[in-house]
Structure 1
Amino acid sequence: MSLLFFSSSSPSILFTKLTNTSYLRMAMPAPVLEHAHHTTATKQSSFILSNSSSKVIDPPVARQRRLAQYHPTIWGPKLIDSFSTRYTHESYASKLEGLKQNVSEDLHVLSTKAKGDACLTLKLIDSIQRLGVSYHFEKEIKAAIVTLVSSSTASTTTDLQTVALQFRILRQYGISISSDLFNQFRNCEGSFKDNLSNDVEGLLSLYEASHLGMPGEDVLEEAKRFSFKNLKQSMATLKDDYLLKRVAHSLQTPLHWRMPRIEALNFITMYQREDSKNLQALLELAKLDYNLVQSVHQMEIKELSRWWRELDLKSKACFSRDRLMENYMWAMGISHDPQFSQCRIGLTKFVCILTVIDDLYDVYGFLDELECFTDAVTQWNMEAKEELPEYMKPIYIAMLEFGNDLSDNIFKNTGLNTLPYIKNEWENLCKSYMVEARWFYGGYTPTLEEYLKNAWTSVGGPGAMLHAYLLTQGSQLTEASLESFNHGSQLIYWASFITRLTDDLGTSKAERERGDVAKSIQCYMDEKGASEEEACDYIKGLICHSWKKINQESAKTTIPRSIVNLSLNMARAAHCIFEHGDGIGNSIGVTKDRLVSLIANPIPLDD
């Protein structure tokens, strides 16, 4: 059995600013550079990368522990245990099934009897998706799309909203569709026609569709510029409050980049203001389903709270972030459908332990101690802990027991030994942390290319994706499905790349103030002599390019849709968590409000 391990090879990044909207050209793959070895394991050591234009500054001298001064958790165990809801599947099963039947019939009628109005079918599918209930209607949606694709009306329509909706939805479902169909809306010079500027619904649909573009699809880049400009201008004169809110929401964060559970809550709020009396069953279903899924989340977080208290890393590793609820938000973002409860629980445990180890390398540990910890991870046995400082032992044991327990459970259910894969991802992760620790203790600022070659692993993306895949497959995991994981390697790379860059945009200020190792923004500023604003714009350009690469990889039929969905959702969760700053380190603002809505407060229902 062979499985691609991500840190063994990594794309080489050639940064070339081509135009104002094209930021880089990628050459892939090339091996990771092996950095120079340390000759001493103290803070006085110096680290120099040969053949590099980056500067080396005097390393820190004092051997003194660093602390990030993270605020205590705002989610105590008593508060978590107090979460309750009257919305349970036992109490509302019959009502849920009745509403599902009504929506299923509406979708069937629109897709089969209302021929000639493809736009209504597309809008219903779009609403079902955005309201967070599409997992109930997977077969019905696929059947409607098949009917839609074969419909002559859908293929010949010249309505901008319908064409753009069709394009976006088909690409979301992995169905091949060319961006050339937008050429009908362009003039002979290649620009979009001026008479489209007043079609706000069409422009909004076009703007959302443009974010599913792939590298080289210039028509979609032009569509994005044209629709953004005209939508921005329309906001000054729009009288429709519902439409105005939709435009503002999209221009802030396009739909393709949004975390599904957050989008479901936002869209429910906006959707109930629309005058759509004939679709009230769908809205009622969405609200009830949201509350029922919330009850599942409450049970999961209570179980995790007990695990976290028993593990007691809060006191054994008091230098680290205590962020159980916020880490659960990562898991909820990556795997949101209610049936994947074990995935969310396991993934939250992974992220909690990862967070402690991340803080160990980033902030608290001395270089010689970190070298020992990295060696112990490579050995992966209890005997190796004896070589560690006392404060590191419970952290190492927590990682080891979590990985071994997960592997044992999978073996019991499938007969497959996944421990080598789990171990290898932890080893890759800690080795990438070690690279950054050597940079810090050597006073070294890497080039942006050097930094990103390592940082897409150190953000934890490859490890999270492996764990999420193992946990979502459950008893269905086979040797063949493990092999198929190889096909998603580049998709996982680009999702991890986005996760790293959005993380850097959100956390850069706080990390710079406490003197952490340089991240992407600082690397670019130092290398190019750029301002912080210029560096942030450049990083945002890399994110846009990376989304195009994700779209390109997602379209490959050799990649399992489960890998596509997990990768997309990890990138979306990163956008959500770091949209307003460091949503993990400082979890009092928007992150708290979102967690209250996602887990604690149900949506009021008229029942």
Structure 2
Amino acid sequence: MESSKTLLICPTRDHTSAASTEHESNIMRLRNMLTAKGEDPFEAMEIIDAIQRLCIDHHFRYEMEEILQKLYQQCSRYQYYGHGLREVALCFRLLRQAGHHVSAENAFSGIRDENGRFRGEFQYDVEGLIELFEASQLSTEGEKTLEDGRDFAVNQLTKLCSAEESHRGRVIMNVLNQPSHKSLSRLTVNRFISMTSDDGENKWLQPLLQVAKIDFDMLKALHQDEISKTLKWWRELSLTKELKKARDQPLKWYTWSMAVLQDPGLSEIRLDLVKPISFVYIIDDIFDIYGGIDELTIFTQVMERWDRDEDNLVEKLPNYMKVCLEALDVVTMEISLKVHKKHGWNPINSLRKSWARLFKAFLVEAKWFESGYLPSKEEYIENGRVSSGVPLVLLHLFFMLGEETTKEKVQLTDESNPLIVSSAATILRLCDDFGSAKDENQDEYDGSYMECYMKQHQGSTIEEARAHSLQMISNAWKRLNEECLDPNPFSGSSFAKACLNVARTVPLMYTYDDDHRLPGLDDYLKSLMLDHA
């Protein structure tokens, strides 16, 4: 890779006013160029793709929305999605990413033969095959065209890789193992740069790379400041004094928040979101490591009531549980007051109910474990979605973002566990079960979905259980994709993007190596915090 295209070599630490002015001028020039290119939306697709891949889309959100809306209208009117495999697949992917419900059948009709198969002339079109594979990752349930497209692309790309050992082959295998749609964008930036040819024709490429370099340096400084504030908050909370065996991982908890909310402008929300995430982990450890069933039952009953002053049950709890509940009360109240002040809606009752649901789900699992009961796979996954903590964290985030906080949307998010949330929760729960390592301080394994499956399907093997779980994860991704498209209630929102990012973050947090470490998490932190990656 040429040095001029290396994104993660940062500029000098001290940004002069002249450098800042030049940065803003570059952004403005690129906006004007994008607007001009937008007169022909097909011309602008390459630039939009590069902007998104370089994680600088927050600078060009309005311009991109206008162009993609125009592109969607043209495609819908004329049923034309571009020329050649790569352009058609790129068009389809960009429109779906923007929330437009584009028909795969219509989009790829010109790329398939009379029997519905992808035409053989594309079998050596590496760029087109890669783009087809990437587009197939946005499939929804029942889309055979995209399933066929994925199989065609994987088969052809695998053959091409096996035919030669080269940089291109390694890049292709990396794409197949880590598709962009199911990965955090920061993890695929350098791969995108290595695949982008700078032949001088694309005069927008170097200005985009320069904006991305400066943005990265600013983002790194911002995240370092947020980490410092998170560590200070956690230290001052002092829960580790009472809970010495519980996980003490504020950097990992902050990483969840940083990965889910990638827009630099959402710093305050990132810092607030770390707090419920931290408590999910701590309370999980209380149920797994500390409490007996009787204590945990009272712990859950107290959480359901929330009125501590008139509740004698609190006095029956050990001190570490009391301290935890008091701290949780304070954090929940602080978040509720902030949301009310900013968005005019007080979420205190909704947040309290969500904590009660989480406690009850943890208690169910504790009772299963204590009694040796192995539930049906349906029981397990229904309870597991709640105990994953995903619905609770995303409910907090929904209120923090304040996007169209209407009575109908609050009711949908608070009471019915919408598909966009439950799909992300399913992905986390099942991927958690695939983790090969124990949590740091736990002495036993919890029951897993695969165990429940094998109990229900006598004679089945662990390989069959794993295959079934992987299919469940694939189906959950398809439902999540569907919920991000019009006319579903959260399509095109920051909340929808956050739900996707929850699912994208899961592999970092639950893919252990043989040393019980999380190499993906380490790589992600290095890519954001170090000068070189």
Q: Say whether residues 1:142 and 2:97 are aligned partners.
A: no
Q: Distance in 2 between matches of 1:238 and 1:110?
A: 38
Question: Which residue pairs with 1:530 in the alignment?
Answer: 460
Question: Which residue pairs with 1:420 in the alignment?
Answer: 349
> Of the candidates 199, 224, 234, which is equivalent to residue 308 of structure 1?
234
Q: Distance in 2 between matches of 1:300 and 1:308?
A: 12
Question: Which residue pairs with 1:399 in the alignment?
Answer: 328
Q: Distance in 2 between matches of 1:478 and 1:213?
A: 30
Q: Distance in 1 between matches of 2:333 and 2:272?
A: 12
SS at 2:487's partner residue? coil
Cα distance change, pair 416–250 in 1 and its aligned pair in 2 (3 A): same
Structure 2 residue identity aligned to 1:107: L
> Of the candidates 460, 483, 497, which is equivalent to residue 553 of structure 1?
483
Equivalent pair of 2:401/2:495 in contact (CA under 8 Å): no
Equivalent pair of 1:485/1:563 in contact (CA under 8 Å): no
Q: Say whether residues 1:565 and 2:500 are aligned partners.
A: no
Superposed, 1:122-201 pairs within 5 Å as: 122-151=45-74, 155=80, 157-180=82-105, 181-201=107-127
Shift of 1:381: 3.4
Q: Distance in 2 between matches of 1:478 and 1:381?
A: 27
Q: Distance in 1 between matches of 2:401 and 2:16?
A: 22
Equivalent pair of 2:361/2:383 in contact (CA under 8 Å): yes
Q: Distance in 2 between matches of 1:320 and 1:288?
A: 39
Shift of 1:424: 0.6
Q: Distance in 1 between matches of 2:54 and 2:349?
A: 40
Question: Which residue pairs with 1:102 in the alignment?
Answer: 29
SS at 2:332's partner residue? helix
- The answer to which of 481-490 and 136-145 deviates more is 481-490
Q: Distance in 2 between matches of 1:452 and 1:524?
A: 11
CA deviation string 1:5-55 (max 9, x = no partner): xxxxxxxxxxxxxxxxxxxxxxxxxxxxxxxxxxxxxxxxxxxxxxxxxxx
Question: Which residue pairs with 2:182 in the alignment?
Answer: 257
Shift of 1:323: 0.9
SS at 2:240's partner residue? helix
CA deviation string 1:315-370 (max 9, x = no partner): 32111111111111111121110111121111111111110101111232211111
Q: Name structure 2 gaps, 5 residues minimum.
A: 1-11
Cα distance change, pair 393–311 in 1 and its aligned pair in 2 (3 A): same
> Of the candidates 319, 323, 344, which is equivalent to residue 390 of structure 1?
319
Q: Distance in 1 between matches of 2:439 and 2:518?
A: 15
Q: Distance in 2 between matches of 1:525 and 1:424?
A: 34
Shift of 1:238: 5.6
Equivalent pair of 1:503/1:582 in contact (CA under 8 Å): no
CA deviation string 1:504-556 (max 9, x = no partner): 22256669994333011222233334333332222111111111111222223
Whose helix proportion is higher, 1 or 2? 2
CA deviation string 1:245-272 (max 9, x = no partner): 442222002211111333345545x367
Q: Say whether residues 1:348 and 2:281 are aligned partners.
A: no
Equivalent pair of 1:88/1:295 in contact (CA under 8 Å): no
Shift of 1:154: 8.6
> Of the candidates 141, 146, 150, which is equivalent to residue 224 of structure 1?
150
Equivalent pair of 2:45/2:90 in contact (CA under 8 Å): yes
Structure 2 residue identity aligned to 1:366: G
Q: Distance in 2 between matches of 1:567 and 1:359?
A: 25
Equivalent pair of 1:131/1:286 in contact (CA under 8 Å): yes
Cα distance change, pair 221–156 in 1 and its aligned pair in 2 (3 A): closer
RMSD: 2.9
CA deviation string 1:407-428 (max 9, x = no partner): 1222333443211011011000
Equivalent pair of 1:512/1:518 in contact (CA under 8 Å): no
Give me the TM-score of the superposition, normalised by structure 2.
0.88
Q: Distance in 2 between matches of 1:516 and 1:404?
A: 35
Structure 2 residue identity aligned to 1:550: L
Cα distance change, pair 368–551 in 1 and its aligned pair in 2 (3 A): same
Equivalent pair of 1:554/1:564 in contact (CA under 8 Å): yes
SS at 2:435's partner residue? helix
- The answer to which of 276-285 and 89-98 deviates more is 89-98
Shift of 1:467: 0.9
Structure 2 residue identity aligned to 1:396: L
Q: Say whether residues 1:591 and 2:518 are aligned partners.
A: no
Equivalent pair of 1:291/1:603 in contact (CA under 8 Å): no
Equivalent pair of 1:215/1:545 in contact (CA under 8 Å): yes
Equivalent pair of 1:271/1:283 in contact (CA under 8 Å): no
Q: Distance in 1 between matches of 2:363 and 2:59?
A: 45
Q: Say whether residues 1:408 and 2:337 are aligned partners.
A: yes
SS at 1:422's partner residue? helix
Give me the TM-score of the superposition, normalised by structure 1.
0.78
Q: Distance in 1 between matches of 2:332 and 2:16?
A: 32
SS at 2:141's partner residue? coil
Equivalent pair of 2:433/2:448 in contact (CA under 8 Å): yes
Equivalent pair of 1:228/1:251 in contact (CA under 8 Å): yes
Q: Distance in 2 between matches of 1:350 and 1:266?
A: 34
Cα distance change, pair 392–401 in 1 and its aligned pair in 2 (3 A): same
Q: Distance in 1 between matches of 2:80 and 2:137?
A: 21
Q: Distance in 1 between matches of 2:497 and 2:21?
A: 30
Structure 2 residue identity aligned to 1:177: V
SS at 1:352's partner residue? helix
Q: Distance in 2 between matches of 1:514 and 1:195?
A: 57
Equivalent pair of 1:488/1:563 in contact (CA under 8 Å): no
Q: Percent identity?
A: 30
> Of the candidates 103, 106, 111, which is equivalent to residue 38 of structure 2?
111
Question: Which residue pairs with 2:508 in the alignment?
Answer: 576
Q: Name structure 1 gaps, 5 residues minimum.
A: 1-84
Question: Which residue pairs with 2:265 in the alignment?
Answer: 339
Question: Which residue pairs with 1:280 in the alignment?
Answer: 206
Shift of 1:214: 1.2
Structure 1 residue identity aligned to 2:510: F
Cα distance change, pair 580–312 in 1 and its aligned pair in 2 (3 A): same
Cα distance change, pair 581–342 in 1 and its aligned pair in 2 (3 A): farther
SS at 1:212's partner residue? coil
Cα distance change, pair 488–129 in 1 and its aligned pair in 2 (3 A): farther
Equivalent pair of 1:259/1:572 in contact (CA under 8 Å): yes
SS at 1:233's partner residue? helix
Question: Which residue pairs with 1:57 in the alignment?
Answer: none
Structure 2 residue identity aligned to 1:176: H
Cα distance change, pair 369–88 in 1 and its aligned pair in 2 (3 A): farther
Question: Which residue pairs with 1:37 in the alignment?
Answer: none
Q: Say whether residues 1:543 and 2:473 are aligned partners.
A: yes
Q: Say whether residues 1:438 and 2:367 are aligned partners.
A: yes
Equivalent pair of 2:72/2:100 in contact (CA under 8 Å): no
Q: Distance in 2 between matches of 1:309 and 1:513?
A: 23
Equivalent pair of 1:210/1:224 in contact (CA under 8 Å): yes
Superposed, 1:73-84 pairs within 5 Å as: none
> Of the candidates 453, 460, 469, which is equivalent to residue 398 of structure 2?
469
